[in-house]
């Protein structure tokens, strides 16, 4: 059978970027092995359930290019309240892929376990359970169910009386989790709780649901964060009790900050949406996440990989055994490199939403604006770390600038009168140039500086201030060309008035 892996998010919030790294490993493994990557929505926690996160999760996966081969179908998505369900419906032979639609499977498995003696009914009240826990906490005992109902005779709790179904965990012996990355992890059965499998409202707990679903969906490899290891023996016991074959477990080390501390937010970014809004490119983030805890080979220095290369070279058995450090510097660097590798037209297209977000470009973007956007994109390509930086670099192209103050207009080591004369000469030249492209502008303005006996720097500085009201901008000649002759001259004229008044 071919490899089948899954991403099984709980729609209680957006997955943390560290977990998204694990999704990337699942996806790469499936693609590398020619297998299937399955999306399953684990919505059994009805208290923390936030239906809108289903859509956000699917949007994030799509944006990162993590397509799924099987997942919720149209009807399931409609019932889950997803807007535009037709855009996300995939379906598949092992559905439904939303757990709240699979309650009968869990009930059946739980009843089978009761019949075979591997599980039992329990009608302890929440108050009693709390008293037990309190006692255990007070006496520094492990906090777990005290097995009160474990040995009640059959018939003492009727199936129609409110109750839960609990796992009858063995009291002696050991349970071993065979893990592809960690090796064998051994647990004493006496420490395994008689876990609730089915709640009194008919919903399963995660432990039962995940086993039933992974089995029915024929998942071959469970690849997830190693914070799930401690509860895995419960699931190993459930598989055994149901007589089902275990999947291969592969618990990958967590993502931390450099130095091992808990992964912290920077500028609010810990979910895909946040990285997307901040202006990271999906291909850069994907590349970065794939290398968090995995590398293609000893001594391999390569950092930039195409998606195809990553698929080809990914090897689950080379995933590191130690935690992976999330370096924002490396991500910024990768993002910058990726931005610089884009064709200018493509970059302009990717920048449009960020200009729109900053209120600089209307939505939809008018066709008449596109030539200017295409001219601006290469000017900022070298300078952007993230796409959202574009607003700050380019706002003066889109909106009127404040007329610069005289102190910013006076050139370095020049007087007001000299600065005025230089800007007047430049104005004359720009008005008469036959062509207003960057090459012509550069040649003629450098020529003008020489003929005025000035260094190019101060002259270009005055023009830069006049047309942008900023000291640092994208390259000036391209900026003038993109701004156009008419707007450039109008701004220079306004600056001339300021200089005239001061000279």
Q: How far is CA 326 from CA 60, 139, 332, in A?
A: 19, 40, 11
458: Cβ–Cβ under 8 A, 6 or more apart, which residues? 411, 412, 413, 414, 422
Closest CB to ligand GLU among residues 9, 293? 9
Closest CB to ligand GLU among residues 12, 123? 12
- The region of 8-16, 82-90, 459-467, 478-486 touching ligand GLU under the rule CB under 6 A is 8-16
Distance CA 2, CA 303 (A): 30
Closest CB to ligand GLU among residues 42, 70? 42
Question: Closest approach of Cβ 461 to ligand GLU, in Å?
Answer: 56
Closest CB to ligand GLU among residues 181, 373? 181
Among residues 3, 4, 5, 9, which is the contact residue for ligand GLU, using CB under 6 A?
9
Catalytic residue check, 412: no
Q: What is the DSSP letter of 325?
A: E
Residues in region 187-206 near ligand GLU by CB under 6 A:
none
**Residues across the chain:** 503
According to DSSP, the β-strands at 164-167 and 119-122 are antiparallel
Distance CA 405, CA 494 (A): 11
Distance CA 317, CA 297 (A): 11
Residues in region 20-59 near ligand GLU by CB under 6 A:
42
Question: Closest approach of Cβ 190 to ligand GLU, in Å?
Answer: 25
Strand 119-122: give its sheet, edge to edge.
Answer: 119-122, 164-167, 196-198
- The region of 2-10, 52-60, 146-154, 460-468 touching ligand GLU under the rule CB under 6 A is 2-10
Among residues 10, 80, 270, 488, which is the contact residue for ligand GLU, using CB under 6 A?
10
Closest CB to ligand GLU among residues 228, 398? 228
The token pair at 88 is 């996300």
Among residues 3, 5, 8, 348, which is the contact residue for ligand GLU, using CB under 6 A?
8
49: Cβ–Cβ under 8 A, 6 or more apart, which residues? 11, 12, 43
Question: Closest approach of Cβ 99 to ligand GLU, in Å?
Answer: 9
Does 210 bind ligand GLU (CB under 6 A)? Our answer is yes
Question: Closest approach of Cβ 210 to ligand GLU, in Å?
Answer: 5
# binding residues, ligand GLU (CB under 6 A) = 7
Catalytic residue, chosen from 265, 413, 455, 470, is 265
Q: How far is CA 146 from CA 39, 136, 192, in A?
A: 37, 9, 12
Does 179 bind ligand GLU (CB under 6 A)? Our answer is no
- Could you tell me which of 497, 479, 342 has the C-alpha nearest to residue 398? 479
Closest CB to ligand GLU among residues 60, 378? 60
The token pair at 363 is 């939505």
Closest CB to ligand GLU among residues 195, 479? 195
Distance CA 119, CA 54 (A): 32
Phi (first) and psi of residue 322, to 5 degrees: -110, 165
Question: Closest approach of Cβ 220 to ligand GLU, in Å?
Answer: 14
Angle between helices 52-64 and 282-290 (to 10 degrees): 90
Residues in region 226-255 near ligand GLU by CB under 6 A:
228
Question: Closest approach of Cβ 224 to ligand GLU, in Å?
Answer: 4
According to DSSP, the β-strands at 248-252 and 221-225 are parallel
Q: Which residues pair with 37 in a beta bridge?
A: 5
Catalytic residues: 265
Please give the residue ranges that form the binding site for ligand GLU (CB under 6 A): 8-10, 42, 210, 224, 228
């Amino acid at each position: 059978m071919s490899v089948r892996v899954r991403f099984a998010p709980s729609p209680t919030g957006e997955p943390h970027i560290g977990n998204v790294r694990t999704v990337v490993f699942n996806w790469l493994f499936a693609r590398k092995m020619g297998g299937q990557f399955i999306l399953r929505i684990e919505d059994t926690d009805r208290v923390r359930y936030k239906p809108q996160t289903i859509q956000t999760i699917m949007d994030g996966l799509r944006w990162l290019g993590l397509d799924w081969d099987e997942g919720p179908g149209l009807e399931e998505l409609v019932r889950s309240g997803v807007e535009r369900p037709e855009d996300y419906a995939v379906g598949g032979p092992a559905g439904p892929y939303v757990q709240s639609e699979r309650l009968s499977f869990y009930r059946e498995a739980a009843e089978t376990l009761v019949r075979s003696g591997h599980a039992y009914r329990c009608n302890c009240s929440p108050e009693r359970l709390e008293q037990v826990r309190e006692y255990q906490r007070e006496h520094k005992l492990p906090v777990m169910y005290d097995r009160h109902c474990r040995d009640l005779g059959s018939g003492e709790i009727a199936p129609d009386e409110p109750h839960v179904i609990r796992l009858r965990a063995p009291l002696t012996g050991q349970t071993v989790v065979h893990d592809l990355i960690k090796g064998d992890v051994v647990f004493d059965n006496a420490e395994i709780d008689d876990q609730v499998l089915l709640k009194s409202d008919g919903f399963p707990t995660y432990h039962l649901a995940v086993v039933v679903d992974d089995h029915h969906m024929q998942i071959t490899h469970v690849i997830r964060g190693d914070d799930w290891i401690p509860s895995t023996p419960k699931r190993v016991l459930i598989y055994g009790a149901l007589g089902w074959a275990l999947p291969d477990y592969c618990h990958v080390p967590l993502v931390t900050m450099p130095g091992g501390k808990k992964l912290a937010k920077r500028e609010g970014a810990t979910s895909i949406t946040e990285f997307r809004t901040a202006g990271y490119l999906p291909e850069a983030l994907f590349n970065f996440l794939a290398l968090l805890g995995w590398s293609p080979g000893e001594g391999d220095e390569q950092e930039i990989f195409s998606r195809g290369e990553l698929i080809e070279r990914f090897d689950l058995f080379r995933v590191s055994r130690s935690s992976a450090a999330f370096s924002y510097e490396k991500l910024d660097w990768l993002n910058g490199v990726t931005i610089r590798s884009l064709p200018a037209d493509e970059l302009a297209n990717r920048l449009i939403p960020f200009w729109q977000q900053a209120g600089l470009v209307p939505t939809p973007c008018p066709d008449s604006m596109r030539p200017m956007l295409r001219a601006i994109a290469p000017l900022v390509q070298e300078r952007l770390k993230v796409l959202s930086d574009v607003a700050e670099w380019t706002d003066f192209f889109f909106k009127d600038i404040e007329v610069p103050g005289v102190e910013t207009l006076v050139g370095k080591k020049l007087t007001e009168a000299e600065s005025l004369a230089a800007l007047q000469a430049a104005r004359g030249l720009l008005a008469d140039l036959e062509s207003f492209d960057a090459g012509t502008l550069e040649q003629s303005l450098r020529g003008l500086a020489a003929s005025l006996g000035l260094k190019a720097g101060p002259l270009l500085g005055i023009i830069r201030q006049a047309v942008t009201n900023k000291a640092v901008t994208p390259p000036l000649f391209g900026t003038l060309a993109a701004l156009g002759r008419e707007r450039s001259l109008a701004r220079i004229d306004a600056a001339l008035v300021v200089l005239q008044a001061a000279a």
